[in-house]
């Protein structure tokens, strides 16, 4: 019988471990490209790129007592962990390793990715060339001028630190930390602040983060253009919850008799701001670990989220497109005919 209790525990463990190895050694290599991406959330070419650049930093030396887990297996194990809602025990069974080993692999991978690649792939525009490229991107795609990035926040479900449950309990009735981010016209994350307790609101987090001070700098005030006889400098855009100032624009308050030019401005700004909403959607759809409660130590949780941001940007750079096309825009002619 398959579940015969008369089988010795050691024999049952060997049988389970052998079956696990079969999935990695025999089933995974036979997967077509679609099946591979469904399991590991990245295309084979993107995984190969990670193996090339991250692999040498994760490689372990062989010992007389045991063979080292191959780099390819370590990276795929970490990706499967990030891309699914499975428990560590289940992932360990799939890869023929222990639960604790699966956890160690995940944390070694996220530490390596964040330390080596976060500030290389997540960059807010600061040079003349970067600012011009960012502003031109929004102008060409959305016909919205002088935009440095779309700003918004999202809640990530967590197990709160003991004794601080109230601080992390948000208005949506669950414990969370806030991920505040800016996104460019290509859905690339250009700034990320993660870790603020869920009880805080996005406006408060923004007022206390480094980005708020950065955008006040003189380097951005010298970039401006004339729009309807008004000088407009570079700025961020956000929803109506954020405070209006010279470095951050938000929509006009909705009114029944809103002037046509105000309604048009709101449409253009909202169309432009949707980039950050779509980026959050892609991130959470691709990496399913964000759909479950993260029960790691707070430092590990924040670094896992930063790792996902790096992988998200890497996918955009390499053309590794999401399963759902979040980049669909309503043609402006349809909007004007319907709403204006």
* pLDDT, tens digit (0-9, with 9 covering 90-100), for 257-305: 889 988 999 999 999 999 999 999 999 999 999 999 999 999 999 999 9
Domain residue ranges of the chain, discontinuous segments joined by +: 21-120, 123-295
Question: pLDDT at position 216, please?
Answer: 87
Alpha carbon 121 to chain centroid, angstroms: 12
Question: pLDDT at position 113, please?
Answer: 97
Question: pLDDT at position 229, please?
Answer: 59
| Run means of pLDDT, 10 residues per run, the chain, 340 residues | 42 45 89 94 96 93 82 96 93 92 95 95 93 93 93 96 94 96 97 96 94 86 64 88 92 88 91 95 95 93 97 95 62 40
Please give the C-alpha separations between residue 58 and each of 52, 101, 109, in angstroms, as whole numbers.
11, 14, 7
> Which CATH architecture describes the domain 21-120?
Orthogonal Bundle (1.10)
175 HSE (CA, 13 A, CB side)? 15
Three-state secondary structure call for residue 231:
strand
Output the CA torsion sign for 213, 214, 217, 223. Answer: negative
Question: pLDDT at position 256, please?
Answer: 85
Question: pLDDT at position 324, please?
Answer: 66
Task: Judge whether 282 and 322 are in contact, CB under 8 Å.
Answer: yes
Three-state secondary structure call for residue 189:
strand
Burial class (CB in 10 A: 0-12, 13-18, 19+), 9: exposed
Residue 152's nearest CA partner among 199, 193, 208 is 193
Question: pLDDT at position 163, please?
Answer: 93
Q: How many residues does the chain have?
A: 340
Question: pLDDT at position 3, please?
Answer: 40
Residue 202's nearest CA partner among 243, 163, 234 is 243
Residue 82's nearest CA partner among 318, 314, 307 is 307
Q: Are strands 147-157 and 230-233 parallel, antiparallel or unpaired?
A: unpaired
């Amino acid at each position: 019988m398959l579940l015969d209790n008369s089988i010795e525990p050691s024999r049952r463990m060997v049988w389970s471990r052998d079956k696990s190895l079969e999935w990695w050694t025999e089933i995974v290599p036979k997967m077509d490209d679609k099946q591979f991406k469904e399991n590991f959330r990245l295309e084979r070419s993107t995984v190969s790129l990670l193996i090339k650049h991250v692999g040498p930093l994760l490689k372990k030396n062989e010992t007389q007592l045991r063979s080292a887990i191959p780099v390819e297996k370590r990276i795929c194990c970490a990706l499967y962990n990030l891309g699914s809602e499975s428990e560590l025990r289940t992932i360990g069974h799939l890869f023929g390793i222990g639960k604790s080993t699966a956890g160690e692999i995940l944390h070694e991978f996220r530490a390596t990715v964040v330390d080596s690649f976060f500030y290389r792939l997540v960059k807010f525009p600061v040079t003349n060339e970067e600012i011009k490229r960012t502003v031109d991107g929004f102008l060409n795609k959305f016909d919205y001028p002088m935009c440095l990035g779309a700003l918004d926040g999202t809640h990530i479900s967590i197990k709160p630190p003991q004794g601080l449950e109230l601080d992390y309990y948000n208005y949506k009735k669950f414990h969370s930390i806030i991920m505040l981010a800016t996104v460019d016209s290509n859905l690339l994350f250009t700034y990320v602040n993660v870790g603020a307790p869920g009880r805080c609101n996005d406006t408060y987090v923004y007022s206390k983060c480094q980005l708020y001070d950065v955008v006040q700098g003189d380097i951005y005030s010298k970039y401006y253009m004339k729009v309807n006889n008004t000088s407009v400098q570079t700025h961020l855009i956000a929803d109506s919850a954020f405070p209006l100032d010279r470095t951050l624009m938000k929509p006009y308050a909705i009114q029944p008799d809103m002037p046509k030019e105000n309604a048009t401005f709101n449409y253009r700004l909202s169309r432009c701001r949707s980039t950050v909403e779509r980026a959050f959607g892609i991130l959470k759809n691709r990496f399913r670990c964000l759909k479950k409660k993260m029960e790691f130590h707070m430092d590990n949780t924040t670094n896992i989220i930063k790792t996902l941001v790096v992988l998200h940007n890497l996918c955009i750079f390499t053309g590794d497109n999401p399963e759902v096309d979040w980049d669909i825009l309503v043609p402006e002619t349809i909007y004007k005919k319907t709403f204006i």
